[in-house]
Structure 1
Amino acid sequence: MHLWSFLGGISAIGGVTLAHVSPSEMDNFNIASALEHLGVEVWKIPALQSFSGVQSRSTENACSAACASLNFVFGSKVSAQDTAGYSNFTGSFWSVQQEEVQPHCVFRPTVNTEVSIAVLLSRFTGCEFAARSGGHAAFTGASSSPGGISIWFKDMNEVTLNEDKSVASIGPGNSWVSVYSALEPYGLAAVGGRAASIGVGGFVLGGGISYHSNLYGWACDNVESFEVVTASGLIITASESSYPDLYWALRGGGNNFGLVTKYNLYTIPCPEMYGGARTFLQTEFKEVINAFINVINNASVDGHAQQYVAFLQVNGTNLASAELTYTLNVANPEIFKQYRSIPAVSDTSSSKTLVQYVEYLETDNPFGLREVYWPITVHMDEDFLNWVVKTFYSMIPQVAHVSGAMPVIIYQGITEPILKKMTNYGGNALGLKASTGPIILMHVSCWWTNESDDNTVYEFINSFWDKVIAQAKSLGVDNDYIYMNYASMFQDPVAGYGDANKALLKKIAKNYDPAAVYQTLQPGYFKLNGAPVTDSF
């Protein structure tokens, strides 16, 4: 007896979601039989006729066989190297580090069962795979598989509403601008990303900071359910009442439990908004940081306000750029009046629809450069926040000679309203509690031009954070949480969720994926056992 015996004649063929079957994989689970239930007869595929079972993952021809098999079954949905479809994939990443990855083939599924087949063929051959939603991570292999199968969700891009329009069902191939564009005619949105090209998938699974988060929480706290392809090829729906452990794990646990083929998100009203960047000279930094803290402290009074402050250097001038967003079309709300009273050198604030807002912010995230994000969190302390900014500017000369380098440190608040929303629908996996009070998420973002400067940039950021963390610990304001969606390849976000949550995530992963497919055959991005890269500087 194997897993598929549980189906009792019901199959997942044709896109039927199996929401109430056992997800546990039996010891004698048979991959070939699972593929047969999906209409794929392994022994009729020429590339697999020499395979007698699961091969060693080091077998040289594993990915050749896997890609040839996908091509045999799906034809034009598979792109080999040196084809237009392949180049379209590799050439459309945000960061050059991802663009440089050369998978053996690219597969563009259109329905969930095709994703099941790809996962099972990966298991059968031992070929590694990766899955891409928007592809906005900034390091090698995060959503493209070197030498393996890269599953590109681009064609799974439907956005539909349920009958009462309370839930939007969103395919993983969507960017947030496509989601907002589909929902805007109904006066609706979802709690989602703040830049146009950010993909739905990784954003939701890692947390998801939104313009609307002080009102509703992060994206992961606004998911009605996930449609998930398990390691066994089963398609199940995880919600608060159906597979609630998996539902909890997917809310912050990343890509460690399955491939999500549909995100069912609660909708929110979305009137016209007001906002933009107000930019200040260094003489105003202390007042800007004080305003930043006061907005955080007043988040419970007015949840329509969202902010972040970026500190950067442009042509030798130190600047603070405060992105001040109000989710109603109000030009000067009380909560932002302190910011408005500080003399500014520029202000781009205006009325915007949500679609216009994310398109406007897209210019802050240029494509075609080498990129890194690298965050930490700390407890709120005004003197410390001022000290961090001064330390950052004192260390910028370390990368002054790096071609194209643009280091920025950005402050955001994880406010008390946001923390309270993290208990919604059974809670999430992030390990953050409202009792800790607001915490500050600070991250360094940097882009540059040449691969030869990679280590220089990484060493600069690492040495900066070493100083900051040491100072935070000496003041008692350090915090272990690392926001997955900004994490660098040298960080372990899951460890920052706390020992108990990490242990529970591992237990849930083992239950749904006892063969550790999503830990080993899908090795990219943030796994449950540690950072993607363990080099130290």
Structure 2
Amino acid sequence: MSLLLQFAAYFAACSLALVQADKSVFEPADFDVAAALGNYGVNTSAIASLEISKEQSTESACLAACGTLTSVFGSHRVLAENTPAYNNFTGSFWSAQQEEVKPRCVFKPAKNTDVSVIVLLSRLTGCPFAARSGGHAAFAGASSSPGGITIWFKDLNEVTLNGDKSVASVEPGNVWGQVYKALEPYGLATLGGRASDIGVGGLTTGGGISYYSNEYGWVLDNVESFEVVTASGQIVTASETKYSDLYWALRGGGNNLGLVTKFNLYTIPSPMMRGGARIFTQDHFSDVLGAFVKVVHDAPRDPYAQYYIAFVSAKGANIASAELTYSKDVADPAIFKPFRSIPAVSDTTSSKTLIEQCDEINSLNPIGLREVYWTVAVQLNEEFANWAVDYFFSVLPQVSHVKGINPALIYQAVTEPMLKNMTKYGGNALGLDPAKGPVHLMHISCWWADTFDDKTIYKFVNDFWDTVIAKAKDMGIYNRWIYMNYASEFQDVIASYGDENKDRLQSVAGKYDPKAVYQTLQPGYFKLNRVPAVFPY
């Protein structure tokens, strides 16, 4: 078949992708991968010898896969190693660890059916793949495939509204700043990330804390439906009423169920808001933590407040930076009075648009540095909150010599209103009990300059959390739940959802992906059937 005929057949076959599968057996046991590719106009005769061959090396499999992609889609869609476009891609990740990953090629799909082709081609050749939405992860291999194919969703970036503007359809190549800019002319937003360059895909399938979360819940609780490419290349729309098991699993299940090519998100009004940081010195830490606990408990009485506190050492001084946002343009909301009554060394709070607020937060997160995120959850307890801050600053001198280091202990809460909203539309997969809140969500965010210091940083953070967890267990307040979007590669997120939810996720994955394509060919992290990376230090 000529290349021209391949393209003609490919485009003619696009409509076939929307055919819904038999609900009793989603993928039959005799599913023919090559035939499915043929339905998309991809001639597999040149690579037929590679099909599920144990003798075939990953290197040659990926050479064949990348070559086939290039012949079908052209070099403008498939970035080859050591080209300027390829180097620009690998150099554009948030963390240095992600930049170090070198895929065999980078594929840029232009439509959802292109994604079906790459999944099927991966199955045929055995070449692994990863998918990048925003690329804002703190460890290697999260959204780029070493030696495999990295799917870059950059050109899948439409944002459209339905007829009554109640739902925004957002493709995964968007970052949240793009989404907000597209919706701002309509006076609308969606629940979304709090920094402009965070990607839509990972944040939504892992959780998603928003400036509006006390009112509406997390981002994953505000998805009307997902358009998702399954392991067989079929494209289905999963909602509360159709493929409802898949819909539930995608809300917290991460990259284990399929590749989402469209997030249909409920819209919300987006007026001017208030936001900024109020900075406190160490002699006021106890008051700051008392204010934090009080405001968390007051969340049911005022849903418009959102806040977190970062404890850092800056220019030789230990400080607490309380990021206080209010989703209405109210200068001094009563709920924040506990914070505003504490003397502050600076206060940047002002009226802002959502875009301006997210751009401001984004400016505090430089790219290209070595990064680690690592999280723990406990029952909210003021005594423990004070103890953990004191302990954090007591051990910081252990890593003060590390070049470019900037560690922060960050306090947030999963409030009672957030937990209540997690029961919407059939609930999500996170395993949090709405009756057992609020939850104190703690995480360490740290960047540093040199690979040489990786061992020192990872050991420091691991040892810190070991001590914190032991203390929390002694006090009877430890919560095993781990928030995927703040987790380290060494944490077992899916197990933290509880046995029942893990079993349910595995059952859903087994139905829609019986050959475990998304477990084996998209290795990544936070998988259903694999333990996390082994902590080596």
Normalised TM-score (structure 2): 0.96
Residue 17 of structure 1: how far off its partner (Å)? 3.1
For residues 467 and 51 of structure 2, the distance between their equivalents in structure 1, rounded to whole angstroms, comes to 55
Per-residue CA distance 1:387-446 (angstroms, 9 max, x = gap)? 000000011011111100111000001000000000000000000111102010000000
Alignment of 1:133-532 (within 5 A): 133-532=133-532
For residues 229 and 55 of structure 1, the distance between their equivalents in structure 2, rounded to whole angstroms, comes to 26
For residues 170 and 310 of structure 2, the distance between their equivalents in structure 1, rounded to whole angstroms, comes to 31
Partner of 2:9: none
Partner of 1:31: 33
For residues 382 and 393 of structure 2, the distance between their equivalents in structure 1, rounded to whole angstroms, comes to 17
Residue 53 of structure 1: how far off its partner (Å)? 5.3
For residues 183 and 59 of structure 1, the distance between their equivalents in structure 2, rounded to whole angstroms, comes to 43
User: Is structure 2 residue 43 aligned with structure 1 residue 41?
Assistant: yes
For residues 466 and 184 of structure 1, the distance between their equivalents in structure 2, rounded to whole angstroms, comes to 44
Per-residue CA distance 1:237-291 (angstroms, 9 max, x = gap)? 1000110000000000000000000000000011000010000000000000011
For residues 212 and 486 of structure 2, the distance between their equivalents in structure 1, rounded to whole angstroms, comes to 19
Equivalent residue pairs, number: 524
Per-residue CA distance 1:212-261 (angstroms, 9 max, x = gap)? 00000000000000000001000001000110000000000000000000
Moved more, 78-87 or 368-377: 78-87
For residues 292 and 371 of structure 1, the distance between their equivalents in structure 2, rounded to whole angstroms, comes to 27
Secondary structure of 2:265 counterpart: strand
Secondary structure of 2:300 counterpart: coil
Partner of 2:5: none
Partner of 1:17: 18
Secondary structure of 2:363 counterpart: helix
Q: Is the 8 A contact 1:489 1:531 kept in 2?
A: no
Secondary structure of 1:120 counterpart: helix
Could you tell me which runs of 5 or more consecutive residues in structure 2 were left unpaired when the two chains were aligned.
Answer: 1-11
Per-residue CA distance 1:503-537 (angstroms, 9 max, x = gap)? 11011111110110000000012101344411253
Partner of 1:73: 72
Q: Is the 8 A contact 1:19 1:237 kept in 2?
A: no
Q: 1:234 to 1:12 in 2, by over 3 A?
A: farther
For residues 174 and 239 of structure 2, the distance between their equivalents in structure 1, rounded to whole angstroms, comes to 21
Q: Is the 8 A contact 1:205 1:253 kept in 2?
A: yes
- Whichever residue aligns with residue 14 of structure 2, its letter is I
Residue 365 of structure 1: how far off its partner (Å)? 1.0
- Whichever residue aligns with residue 232 of structure 2, its letter is S
Secondary structure of 2:59 counterpart: coil
- Whichever residue aligns with residue 37 of structure 1, its letter is N
Partner of 1:5: none
Secondary structure of 2:435 counterpart: helix
Q: Is the 8 A contact 1:18 1:237 kept in 2?
A: no
- Whichever residue aligns with residue 418 of structure 1, its letter is M
Secondary structure of 1:446 counterpart: strand
CA RMSD in angstroms comes to 1.3
Q: Is the 8 A contact 1:128 1:145 kept in 2?
A: yes
- Whichever residue aligns with residue 60 of structure 1, its letter is E
* Percentage of identical aligned residues: 61
Secondary structure of 2:279 counterpart: strand
Q: Is the 8 A contact 1:55 1:126 kept in 2?
A: no
For residues 235 and 467 of structure 2, the distance between their equivalents in structure 1, rounded to whole angstroms, comes to 47
Partner of 2:8: none
Residue 346 of structure 1: how far off its partner (Å)? 0.8
- Whichever residue aligns with residue 440 of structure 2, its letter is I
- Whichever residue aligns with residue 13 of structure 1, its letter is C
Q: Is the 8 A contact 2:51 2:125 kept in 1?
A: no
Could you tell me which runs of 5 or more consecutive residues in structure 1 were left unpaired when the two chains were aligned.
Answer: 1-10
Residue 62 of structure 1: how far off its partner (Å)? 0.5
For residues 51 and 203 of structure 2, the distance between their equivalents in structure 1, rounded to whole angstroms, comes to 39
Residue 56 of structure 1: how far off its partner (Å)? 5.0
For residues 531 and 59 of structure 1, the distance between their equivalents in structure 2, rounded to whole angstroms, comes to 22
Per-residue CA distance 1:467-522 (angstroms, 9 max, x = gap)? 00000000001000100001000001111100100011011111110110000000
- Whichever residue aligns with residue 72 of structure 1, its letter is S
Secondary structure of 1:364 counterpart: coil
- Whichever residue aligns with residue 328 of structure 1, its letter is K
Per-residue CA distance 1:44-72 (angstroms, 9 max, x = gap)? xx4x2643555556443010001001001
Moved more, 54-63 or 156-165: 54-63
Residue 81 of structure 1: how far off its partner (Å)? 0.5
Q: Is the 8 A contact 2:98 2:141 kept in 1?
A: yes
Residue 110 of structure 1: how far off its partner (Å)? 0.8
- Whichever residue aligns with residue 422 of structure 1, its letter is M
Q: Is the 8 A contact 1:57 1:127 kept in 2?
A: no
Q: Is the 8 A contact 2:404 2:447 kept in 1?
A: yes
